Amino acid sequence: MFIKKNFWKATTAFLLAACISLGYFTQTSYAEEDLMEFAKKSGYPIKEGYRPKASIVIDADSGQILWEEQPDLSWSPASIAKVMTMYLALEAIEQGKFNLDTTVTATEKYVNISQIYALSNNKIALGVDYPVRDLFSMVAVPSSNVATLMLANLVSDNDEAGFIRKMNEKAAELGMTNTTYFNCSGAQISAFGGFYQAPGIDPDGDNKSTARDLAILTYHLIKKYPDVLQFTNKPVVTTMENTPYAETFETYNYSLPGAKYGYEGVDGLKTGSSPTGGFNYIATAKKGDARLIEVVLGVGDWSDQEGEYERHLAGNAILDHAFSTYEYKKLLSKGSNTINQKEVTLEQDFYGFVKKDTEPNFTLADGKLSLKNEHGQVSPKIPARSVQYQESNSKETDGSSTKLEGKKTVPSSSTKKEGHNYLVTGVLTILGLLLLILSKVFRKRIAGVRRGSRKMSTPTTRLLFILGILFILSAVSVFIFL
């Protein structure tokens, strides 16, 4: 009777394991949905040849990753390098070194740089005083190289090599572990016709970064200096207004509302393109209480200027996927909650991003409750969103449990029976792990065949994965019930 009863318990556990593993597989497949497929569904189809080499989307408030593909691929960010220059300029303003009304006088050197046709620029007139606020607009919208150098030299007191070292030091401080700067603007120093001098810096060096690192930079930029968006959120800007030197520029960020591929909620931030980097894009977008940061790198090829537009179709598709897949909402209420079979009291309501139509999972550690996320945080230096809690321990329950265990009668054959259970559990666990490893191996091989794509599943990898989970959970059921 005892064996029959527990056999049905084990069978029930096995069926539950099947349901859990199938549900887990469905969620994993959804998380790894192919970019080209969901782009087509979103209404922003990506043409073959214009798939981004790397991309990432994070929650601008917590650093939680919502989407990623090749986030650590080393890439030339081109003019996106100007974002670090703006960061350091805003930091200098915060430190009181100058303000937005401070002016930089145009020297002959700056006039000469402004006339280099191969560089993106704007007109600079000799002897004219250019306010910092206008330099910011020139950097952000027409991506002016001369304005970028004028801003960098203001920060560094004309120590051009020192400013580049400062860029790399700040990158390291922020946790941008795969970023190296060789210039302040994205254009190689050698392209400035000798007017940009940085002793000790390779003049032909090409800046390198990753989608993850650029997302980290933008996260800190928006956190510390949210007013930067005033320079990036308009489709058309005019600099030096009410002066003879006024210029009007249309943005290269075609995802801004009012621009060619306007997407609701986009309010910045910077584009970049170059022969080595193709077409790149950082976007910030806000809907309701949710703000996202997106980085898209390597769309198309410099020889085909269509990539300038296609990067925004790709960016819109990825943003739309993140907004439609996730929702920001209250996950737990202040007060008493049961989390992971523990009674805890939260000091305040807890909000976060979760996939729609799914139940959130949490971790409890060191007095903090955090949201579990399949993709993790964009940087280990940015902690997951959390809330303080206090745990309610019931000593009476623990004591009664110990007392009941003390009364348990142990059969004389228990040692043999336990040894048999351990053997069965061990065998099932090993088989399960082997099947999971095989499913990963096959998926990697498939990903290798489909160059540039994420790991994809097939009926074979799906079966191996499910069987692996079933074996492992069956091992658990044998250990518990038999």
DSSP H/E element including 59? strand 54-59
At 376, phi and psi to the nearest 5? 80, -165
Contact in structure between 113 and 197 (CB atoms under 8 Å)? no
Q: How far apart are alpha carbons 346 and 331 in whole angstroms?
A: 12
Which residue from 183, 173, 178 is spatially nearest to 209, judged by alpha carbons? 178
- Which of 82, 109, 166, 234 is catalytic? The answer is 82
- Which of 143, 255, 274, 386 is catalytic? The answer is 143
Contact in structure between 92 and 106 (CB atoms under 8 Å)? no
Dihedral-angle region of residue 393 (phi above 0 means left; psi in -120 to 50 means alpha; beta otherwise)? beta
Q: How far apart are alpha carbons 153 and 482 in whole angstroms?
A: 74
- Which of 79, 274, 386, 439 is catalytic? The answer is 79
By DSSP bridging, strand 247-250 and strand 236-239 are: antiparallel
Residue 82: active-site member:
yes
9 assigned to a ligand binding site: no
Residue 143: active-site member:
yes
Q: How far apart are alpha carbons 363 and 295 in whole angstroms?
A: 28
Which residue from 54, 78, 3, 85 is spatially nearest to 278, judged by alpha carbons? 78
Which residue from 466, 461, 456 is spatially nearest to 432, judged by alpha carbons? 466
DSSP H/E element including 447? helix 414-449
Q: How far apart are alpha carbons 301 and 275 in whole angstroms?
A: 7
CA distances from 114 to 52, 124, 197, 204 (A): 31, 6, 16, 20
Rg (CA), the chain: 28
Measure the CA angle with vertex 195, ends 193 and 198; round to 5°.
110
As annotated, the binding site for substrate includes: 270
As annotated, the binding site includes: 270
Which of the residues are catalytic?
A: 79, 82, 143
